[in-house]
Amino acid sequence: MNVAQAIARILEAEGVEVLFAYPVNPLIEAAAEVDIRTIIVRQERVGLHMADAYSRLSSGDKLGVFCMQHGPGAENAYGGVAQAYGESVPLMVIPMGYPTRVMNVDPNFSSWRQMTGVAKLTDHISDPKMVSETMLRGFSALRNGPPRPVVIEVAADVFSQEAPDPTESYVPTFSTRSAPDPEAITTAAQLLAAADNPVIYAGQGVHYARAWDELEELAEKLHIPVTTTLAGKSTFPEDHPLSLGTAGRTVGKQVRQFLDGADVVLAIGASLTRTGFGQRMPSGATIIHATGNPGDIQKDVPVQHALVGDAQLTLQGLLDALGDDENERASKRAGVTPGAISSARESWLDEWAPKLTSTETPINPYRVVHELDQLVDKDNCIVTHDAGSPRDQMTPFFSSTVPLSYLGWGKTTQLGYGLGLAMGAKIAHPDKLCINVWGDAAIGFTGMDFETAVRERIPILSILLNNFSMAIEIPIMQVAQEKYGSTDISGNYADMATAFGGYGERVEDPEDIVAALQRGIAKTEEGVPVLLEFITSKEIAYST
């Protein structure tokens, strides 16, 4: 067999069922030969976004894989790899490289050399005998340690060369876990039990470790309020009495109220990366940083205690150290009772009710978010936002109640990311309603790939908030807007969706929102991708 066929058989052995791709790469044909489904996108970045969601939602069982051609294909893919790196997502990228005689000659783009800054591991195959050992290194890096992309470049002329058959000799990789220092666990448990106003700050590591039950058990045992990072949204049910909601760029007042009053914060499965799309840690609080990546410790936020290890093993260790006795002090903490949390949340929601229930036209985007939140079956949907206003409007007001029902993100905020995430989610969970919410700026980046949803029979519900403007930029581009209309954009995207063969509908009356959503959901159940275009006001998202 040739190198492409050998790699395809290794992918098969590793449990890969889908190859996201853009031609030309010989691996596409080789994968199809072994019944790995090939999904061809309109541009490389969206294919990587699909592989990204597929990996996140599979929790390590199945990994997203993407391949593309050398030169412009690899260059266009760079942004998608960088997005996955910023969001700590493990996925395999297999670019075709230039032929061996020129693969290291400038200005030829070499993925294995030039993607080192956005990948956990970059490697290359220039010798057919290297296939098994190189792929084994790559998959082992994906399944172990901090989650990040792996890039393995294959020289164009090597793909067709004869390679050893890996069928009998290749042994698939496995995952390992580590637990924190037992003494550090004991100290942390004592601090949490003795704290007056503790808060748990949960991140994406809880998802990767599938530690949802342990997180809920710890919160309930010690009566600790829980907030989550953007990527950690849905690690803790947001209809739970101890939920504060998501600590993104825009938050409910209860998030800052309880964070600012915290004397101890357990940051579990979170990198504590300093970002404008998250919340600051309270000054003066004791921070217990529990992360699987030792490189996170003291990186951005000074902490007093560290627990390095798998989030599930960490939480199990804390629960064991606390023992079976109900903590009396925890049950008597003033200000952290479920009733106090509910009161703070309801007071904040009352302030926002005029926007959430607005009857104005153009439609207030918060009304669309509110109706979507009230309508969908939370147990059977997966939702994501896009960058900019949709992210900031969605994360505080769309509640997630089951694990992995929301794909939050934001450390790097490339426009157009949400469409590929929704499509990848639908591939991973074809039985669920998969939704992306984006704006008219985002659709300008990746909207052509709605055709991919139609062609590949991926029936997502795409909700577009169209205000004919880059509204989030208006306050910082006032002169440019006044002179040159620099924040104005336009389009009829519902018609575009229809032209592609999907279902498109433009909605201008707020009283039609619910019926339009119901029609859209019904169409997805018929197997048709849907784009609902809501004509909205230039509402700017506010941090609260």
Task: Report all structural domains of the chain as residue ranges with CATH numbers, in order of start.
Answer: 3-155 (3.40.50.970), 182-341 (3.40.50.1220), 357-535 (3.40.50.970)
Residues 480-534 have pLDDT tens digits of 999 999 889 989 999 999 999 999 999 999 999 999 999 999 999 999 999 999 9
pLDDT value at residue 469: 87
* Inter-axis angle of helices 513-525 and 365-375, nearest 10: 50
B/e letters for 22-53, b = 16+ CB within 10 Å, e = fewer, are: beebbbbebbeeeebebbebbbbbbbbbbbbb
Residues 262-275 have pLDDT tens digits of 999 999 999 999 99
What percent of the chain is modeled with pLDDT above 90? 90
Helices (H), 177-310: 182-194, 204-209, 212-222, 253-260
Alpha carbon of 326 to those of 214, 220, 222, 265, 315: distances in Å?
A: 16, 10, 8, 20, 17
The confidence band for 540, taking pLDDT boundaries of 50, 70 and 90, is confident
Neighbours of 264 (CB within 10 A): 23
Identify the CA nearest to 461 among candidates 484, 438, 495. 438
* Calpha distance 168→191 (Å, rounded): 53
Identify the CA nearest to 306 among candidates 197, 185, 209, 198. 185
- End-to-end CA distance of the chain: give it in Å, rounded: 60
Task: Please state the pTM of the whole predicted model.
Answer: 0.96
**Would the pLDDT of 542 be above 70?**
no
The amino acid occupying position 203 is G
DSSP letter string, 283-298: TTPEEEEEES-GGGTT
Is 318:192 a contact under the CB 8 Å cutoff? yes
Neighbours of 343 (CB within 10 A): 12
Residues 305-331 have pLDDT tens digits of 999 999 999 999 999 999 986 666 566
